Structure 1
Amino acid sequence: MGARKRIKANQIKEENKSKAFASLRNVPTSPRKMRLVTDMVRGMEVNRALDVLRFSPKEASNRVEKLLLSAIANWQAKNEGQRIEESALYVKEISVDSARILKRLRPAPQGRAHRIKKRSNHVTILLGSKTAETDSTKE
């Protein structure tokens, strides 16, 4: 690794230490189905997003709910002494990226076979605090 890459990598690591995020990798659900769930909670306040995910009938909502709880725990570890209600915590960014695709064969008539793609995805949640952002804009 060259010097510029190492410096940039260390800079990115330092920036990530101040952010509260969580990521879920290789989820065996298609990215399209997962995006339907993540689009519901993007930009929502954290407690409201948890309620929406808890009562959603989609299977992917269980995984996103668990990931959101993990992101909240990460935020609490970085901001000890602060309460979620007072900081107005919300889902700042949530992204779904495509992961590996497992290629399988399904038997078809007359000795043929059809290829099936079993898709999976990566989900990343970044939390933000509305009170911290308003404090930084006042300065």
Structure 2
Amino acid sequence: MSITKNVKETKAVGKYIRLSPHKVRRVLDQIRGRKYQEALIILEFMPYRVCSHIKQILESAAANAEHNDGLNKNQLFVSKAFADKGPTLKRFQPRAQGRAFPIHKPTCHITLGVSEL
């Protein structure tokens, strides 16, 4: 028999972001389970291009929690953070002797969930 506590989780999703999901997951692993303010500081000083996108989505999730669910931003933590693969843009690079090499430009969908401590 387990006792479950009603925990409100609010999420925000960024779709079709032109970054590889593999590179996004590298950063998401660093902020998963951290407090909201701590995660913002980590994202501010990490040297990766994806950090600005994740920071924007995290701020959106916190604003959703505050506005829609009435939660306090100071009491939030990152409860869920994952990146799914999106559609791949396919392009061709012309090469020697009339050949064409494919170029794959990956996209991803980033989902962040925040809950109250």
TM range (shorter): 0.7 to 0.9
Pair 1:91 & 2:78 matched: yes
Provide structure 1 residue ranges, at least 5 long, that are not aligned to the other structure.
1-17, 131-139
- Partner amino acid, structure 2, of 1:125: L
Which stretch of structure 1 is more off in the superposition, 30-39 or 41-50? 30-39
Note closer, same or farther for the CA distance 1:128–1:49 as it changes in structure 2 (3 Å cut): same
Q: Secondary structure, in 3 states, of the residue corresponding to 2:91?
A: strand
| Deviation sequence 1:76-132 (CA, Å, 0-9, x none) | 01343x5333x3x110011100001111101122221111111000001111112xx
Provide structure 2 residue ranges, at least 5 long, that are not aligned to the other structure.
1-7
Q: Determine the structure 1 residue equivalent to 2:97.
A: 110
Q: Determine the structure 1 residue equivalent to 2:5.
A: none
1:49 to 39, 44, 55: 39
What's the TM-score once normalised by structure 1's chain length? 0.74
2:48 to 44, 58, 68: 58
> 1:4-83 to 2 correspondence within 5 Å?
19-80=9-70, 82-83=71-72
Corresponding residue pairs, total: 110
What's the TM-score once normalised by structure 2's chain length? 0.87
**Structure with more of its chain in helix, by fraction:** 1
- Partner amino acid, structure 2, of 1:111: G
Q: Secondary structure, in 3 states, of the residue corresponding to 1:74?
A: helix
